[in-house]
Structures are given as structure tokens and as C-alpha cells.
Structure 1
Amino acid sequence: MREDIASLRNEYSKEELDEQSIEVNPFNQFDKWFTEAVASEILEPNAMVVSTVSKKGVPSQRTVLLKDADKEGYTFYTNYDSKKGQELEHNANISLLFPWYELERQVIITGKAQKVLKEKSVKYFHSRPRESQLGAWASNQSSEITDRSVLEEKLKMLEERFLNKEIPLPENWGGYLVIPETFEFWQGRKSRLHDRIFYQDEMEGTWKISRLSP
């Protein structure tokens, strides 16, 4: 088994990334790559690995879905009482990783997370399918439960409670806006000599661009 793992490898040769072809603004470069990821019809192009840090400095990751992107940053929604919510409460540092394997690409964004305005969370919450709204109420995310029946029974109770009614936004549920400080765009290349273009925020809308060794 271990020998089989060691022998797994692919040669990357689909695209290249250089300083002459990239956008000066990393938000524009992300938009370009994201549009290409969507057009390629890969599974969940907005799926991203969100990394946070505990009070003891222990990192943790989970996959969530990007739900908004603009010139301020990148927004996702979650239960504020979840593990990631609790960790962001005491340490706003966060990392986002978009693993677009089929395109031999990945993007890493680091920055600070802050809660979005409640009005924005309400608007997004009510745009979700009703089943998803009920799920947000049913799950005390990251808390321990005895078995799945706990969730199913709670969901049934909530379906009866909100029958023919608008489902309100839970008080402990909403969005985080990730304000980027760095971007790294990675493009797979032959011989493992991958392209890595790094953007560092130098304040006031200017970005330092550099190439990193693979």
C-alpha cells in the first residue's frame, strides 16, 4: 500500500502562469480563474478549504462553499457557534484554499474574517431552499450528538413549527467576509517546476507581485 502511494504521480502541462499575463489586481486574477473554473464544469468550483486556528494554536480545516465575491473580499455562511466560528471569535486570521485539480490549479487566500451585516445574512438565508433553512435550525454545528435520529427528530419538529410560515434567520447563523491580505496563484507545470505567483497587500489598493520557487 505505501509503495503504491509513493508511485502515484501525474505530469502537469495544461497551462502556464507568468508575470506578463497576470492581472495587476489579484481580485481580477481570481475572477478570471474562477470564471474559467465554472466554464470547465468541474464539480463545485466554489468549494474551498477554510482554515482557522484554535486558542492553543492548533489549525483545523473544513470545506465550505463560497457564496459571494466582490472587491471587498469573499463571503461564506455558517453557524457562528461552530468550531470555526468559535475559533474566528478569538483569532480572525483565516486561509481559503480553492483546489481546482482538474485545471491543475489552486488559489490560496489569507486574510482576516469579519461578520457581515445581519441584513446581508437575512437576505442570503431566505434565498436558500427551505430544506436548507430548516437544516440551519436543526443542527448545532460541531456539537456532539448521540446518533442521527437526534437531527431527524429535531427536523421533524421544526417542520411542524414553521409549517406555512416564513423561517426566520437563526440568531447564531450568518456570514463571514474574508478580507484578503495575500493571494497565491498556483499553476501546475512539467517536472514539478510549478508556477507560483504571490500578491502581498501593501495597503491603499496596491499589491506587490512576486514569483515563488515551487
Structure 2
Amino acid sequence: MEDPALEPADFDTMRVGYGLNASLDVGDLHDDWVALFASWLDEAGRRGVREPNAMVLGTVGADRRPSTRTVLCKGADERGLTFFTTTSSRKGAQLAQSGYASATFPWLVVERQVHVEGECRPLDRADCLAYWRTRPRGSQVAAWASEQSQPVESVEELTSLYAIAEKRLADVEEIPMPDRWGGYRLRPDRVEFWQGGRDRFHDRVECLRGDGGWTVRRLQP
């Protein structure tokens, strides 16, 4: 039996209206992006967005083909956004090749989205260690057990890899940080705030970094 496929009409019905929020004013950004981003992030969490710090990270490798995945943002300030991962993973290899990335926070429950683009560079080892020590022990074990992005034959083999690492580290009081694990900072040169509007006439405000600071302007939807 053939697998059932969604008919085009099914997609036609997947339409919702927007207009939950008041129009975004360019002046709300105060010639910077950090304060409004922090405010929107906090509000998304209070209004029921699960893991509002989850962001879709986009990278491009040597083959020039874009790749995306969801990671957790672990810091945001005027220097940029920070996140942590296995540096030998596919995304790590692509970041090493291009040095640039994008990140999108899709807070659809509150009809908002923030998109960030810019250079993405490794963090100092000291900064990585400081965050590593805050991770739950199980997450630390997992970082040792998994060669992220590498193939594995089965769930059973994956479970075995974790069990082996857990046993090997059982008597280790403070689990060390693997050499293949670390963090990155995405330093934005472009940030776009999007907010849903009635009749798909959305709010879009763009922040661009220049030599003299940030320029803020409204974009057509």
C-alpha cells in the first residue's frame, strides 16, 4: 500500500491569522538590538514558548549548501549570541570553513521571530570550561560518549556507547571537558525583528552594524 500523501488542499487550510501585538516602532530599538531581543525572549518564555532560547542555526560548508539545526542559545549581549556543541560535528566543520552563521528564534506562539547573521568564532577555552562545569553530569557523559554527526549502527550501539562512557567516568568526581567540545559566539552584523501583522502585512525592522554603530530601518513585508 502506498503511503498516504498530503493533498495540496490540506496545506491550504494550514493558515492562521496574525495581529496579536501592537505595531513595532523603530524607536523601540534605541539604535541597538540587545535590549529588545532580551525583552522579546523573556516575554516568549512567560507566554508559554517552550525553550525560548532554542534557535535554528544555519551554516554553509565548502560545498556551499546551507544546513540548519536547532541548538540552544546560552548567552546574549552586545558581543553576540553564544552556544555550545561538539566542534568536530558537521556544524563545527562548516563553521571552521566559513566562519559565518545565522540564527533564527521562531517564537510563533507569540507571533514573533528574530533572525541574526554574522561572524561565528570559537570561544576561549576558559569560557567553554566555565559553561561546561554548569552542565548536568549526564550531559557531560553524553559529550564523551558521542562522536556527534558520525554514523552509528543501531540504538543498541548508541546505548552501549553511553553505558561505556558512564562506567569509565563513574569514579571521576569532576568530568573533564573533551577536546572536541566547545562554544561559539555569533557576532551579528545584521539582526531582523519580525512580528506578525494582519493580512500578512507583517512588521519587519532591520538592524545593520556599521563602522559608526547600528543603523535601524523598517522593511516592507
The structural deviation recorded for 1:203 is 2.5
Tell me which amino acid in the other structure corresponds to 2:184. Answer: Y
Identity %: 38
- Paired residue type of 1:132: S
2:196 maps to what in 1? 188
TM-score (norm 2): 0.93
Q: C-alpha separation between the residues in 1 aligned to 2:122 and 2:11?
A: 41
- What CA distance in whole angstroms lies between the structure 1 residues aligned with 2:11 and 2:30? 37
Aligned AA (2:59) = T
1:20 Cα deviation from its structure 2 partner: 3.5
Q: 2:20, 2:13 → 1: CA distance?
A: 22
In the alignment, is the contact (CA less than 8 A) between 2:122 and 2:185 conserved in 1?
Answer: yes
Distance 1:18 1:108 in 2: 17
Letter of the 1:58 partner, please give it.
R
Match of 1:89 in 2: 96
From 32, 54, 57, the counterpart of 1:50:
57
Q: Distance in 2 between matches of 1:117 and 1:151?
A: 30
Instruction: Describe the SS at the equivalent of 1:33.
Output: helix
Matched, 1:140 2:147: yes
Query: Residue 11 of structure 2 corresponds to which residue in structure 1?
Result: 5
Q: Which residue, 103, 119, 132 being the options, matches 2:110?
A: 103
Q: Let me know the Cα RMSD of the aligned residues.
A: 1.1
Shift of 1:23: 3.1
- The number of residues matched between the two structures is 213
What residue in structure 2 maps to residue 114 of structure 1? 121
Q: Aligned with 1:48: secondary structure?
A: strand
Q: Match of 1:112, SS? A: strand
Contact 2:87 2:182 (8 Å CA) reproduced: yes
**1:1-214 superposed matches below 5 A:** 1-15=7-21, 16-165=23-172, 166-204=174-212, 206-214=213-221
Aligned to 2:3: none
Partner letter of residue 177 of structure 1? R
Per the TM alignment, residue 163 of structure 1 is displaced from its structure 2 partner at its CA by 1.1
Tell me the secondary structure at the aligned position of residue 21 of structure 1: helix
Structure 1 Cα separation of the partners of residues 40 and 98 of structure 2: 29
Q: Aligned partner of 1:84: which letter?
A: K
Q: CA deviation at 1:169?
A: 0.1
Gaps of 5+ in 1: none
Write the distance in 2 (CA, Å) between the matches of 1:51 and 1:38.
23
Q: Which amino acid in structure 2 is aligned with residue 38 of structure 1?
A: G
Instruction: List per-residue Cα deviations over 1:27-64 (Å, max 9, x = no partner).
Output: 12211211211222311100000000021110000000
Compared with structure 1, are the counterparts of its residues 70 and 20 closer, same or farther at alpha carbon in structure 2 (3 Å cutoff)? closer
